[in-house]
Structure 1
């Protein structure tokens, strides 16, 4: 669909047009807008302008995070982006809980920290980590795509750098594993993973952490996982072998419906894995 067609078919065309201008020029950088019970900066980030156009489009996703947490809980947010899920989680766990927000992209990580500061959230309640997470730690780091669609950036799988159409825009970022980062963490009440296809690699690097994790909220689907040579079938098998019961967690179905793996051959959606 062309940009003009997208504008004409959008339910809020004027707001959509303004958001495109803000996004591409950064003119809205000093603006702030409310989202649920907190506020966000209108940074020139893809998710920021989407949420400014429609402040309710992620309500169901954020409500699920709030429903899965209680005061005093610990949440790990892998792929925190500009921080709206981390902030929602922090409000749910309260001052006695902890949220670890992981975002490797330097520019997006800075915006994450600015949004946390805007909402008076700081360590020890919310802790930020500027690192990519994978199956193995790497001293030389990994190549992260640097797309203008910044909510869709991903770490290019080792050996696939030359085959990535976005390689020329890649940036090198540190790479670690969840087991290395949280070797002393006594428990994780909610592990949220949204890493554009590297979800299985993240889980493979979290074998110890998973044993003390009660819930995993994870994005899944072959259109993304194929970038890393994996599949939704492998992801499902890994979670089930680790002792989780996995159900659908898309906006219209907040858990409870068993996964139909055929739906994820061409579709990307959210799964909720609960420890048996």
Structure 2
């Protein structure tokens, strides 16, 4: 007897729905907002400007706004934009833009994972190499591609002003985003991923060229710093080279010294 299941092709809308639900479960779970606001409060005061580069479903954008900041949020995935807007509904001073940030104005090809939209990326080399360099990505498939506009951080600063804090979570494009920045910002964060620490080193080098920074680390989706004392760039990179594989991924936080 023929097995009818082998002829079944899962529709794209089904994978997109599963992907969005997964993101909402992770990033909208109860209690998360209070933790995010405590984490960002040292960087953001009422009336400050914050950039959310890679806003996804808006958990950070909402935290920035509820701390009293004006927010510029970039999210290129059209299926996530309604959820991003819903996250900050009723709040003022928020600009939502369907763009990626990068080294120059123009456009980019976004590699989309329908089932895992949080790892959609405009860096094709990162997508092609990461499944063999980080075991937590072995099950991920990037099964769509869309053209998206690209803007630089310098352009955003020219339009909105210099942010007090800039969060960058763009799945392998972090160093390219920083290439579009020619002036220091007071504080920022960017993602690190085991198997792609060359990108992390590139980010640290670019920030060192802009100003003097110190660093801390938050593993995964936790909301507590790993180090009691903030570290230099070489110190944090050396620690990641030894321990990054165990963590998988997380965020590095940079604050300007004597800003």
1:67 deviation in Å? 3.1
Aligned partner of 1:151 in structure 2 is 118
**1:80 aligned residue (55, 73, 80):** 55
- For the residue of structure 2 that corresponds to 1:143, the secondary structure is strand
Within 5 Å, give how 1:52-67 maps onto structure 2.
Answer: 54-56=29-31, 60-67=35-42
Q: Determine the structure 2 residue equivalent to 1:262.
A: 241
Q: CA deviation at 1:62?
A: 4.1
Deviations 1:85-123 (A, max 9, x none): 101101112xxx411111110111222112222xx124x
Residues 264 and 142 of structure 1: is their aligned pair in 2 closer, same or farther, counting only changes over 3 Å? farther
Does residue 114 of the first structure (1) align with residue 86 of the second (2)? yes
Query: How many residues end up aligned between the 2 structures?
Result: 222
RMSD across aligned C-alpha pairs, in angstroms? Answer: 3.0
Q: Describe the shift of the 1:155–1:72 C-alpha distance in structure 2 as closer, same or farther (beyond 3 A).
A: same
2:144 counterpart (169, 181, 189): 169
In structure 2, relative to structure 1, the CA distance for the partners of 1:263 and 1:183 (3 Å cut) is farther
Q: Which portions of structure 1, spanning 4 or more consecutive aligned residues, are displaced by more than 3 angstroms?
A: 23-27, 56-62, 159-168, 254-257
How much does 1:130 deviate? 0.5
Partner SS state of residue 110, structure 2: strand
Structure 2 gaps of 5+ residues are: 1-13, 131-139
In 2, Cα distance between equivalents of 1:130 and 1:25: 18
Contact 1:45 1:150 in 2 (8 A): no
In structure 1, stretches of 5+ residues that fail to align are: 1-22, 28-42
Higher relative contact order (CA 8 A, sep 6+): 2
**Residue in structure 2 matched with residue 198 of structure 1 by the alignment:** 173
SS at match of 2:88: helix
**Is structure 2 residue 200 aligned with structure 1 residue 232?**
yes
User: TM-score by structure 1 length?
Assistant: 0.69
Shift of 1:83: 0.7
Deviations 1:60-88 (A, max 9, x none): 44421233211110000001111111011
Shift of 1:180: 2.2
Instruction: Report the counterpart of residue 242 of structure 1 in structure 2.
Output: 210
Distance of aligned partners of 1:82 and 1:243 in 2 relative to their CA distance in 1, 3 Å threshold = same
Question: Does the aligned pair in 2 maintain the 1:232–1:261 contact within 8 Å?
Answer: no
Residue aligning to 1:180: 155
Distance 1:24 1:98, change over 3 A: same
TM-score by length of 2: 0.73
The alignment partner of 1:179 has SS state of helix
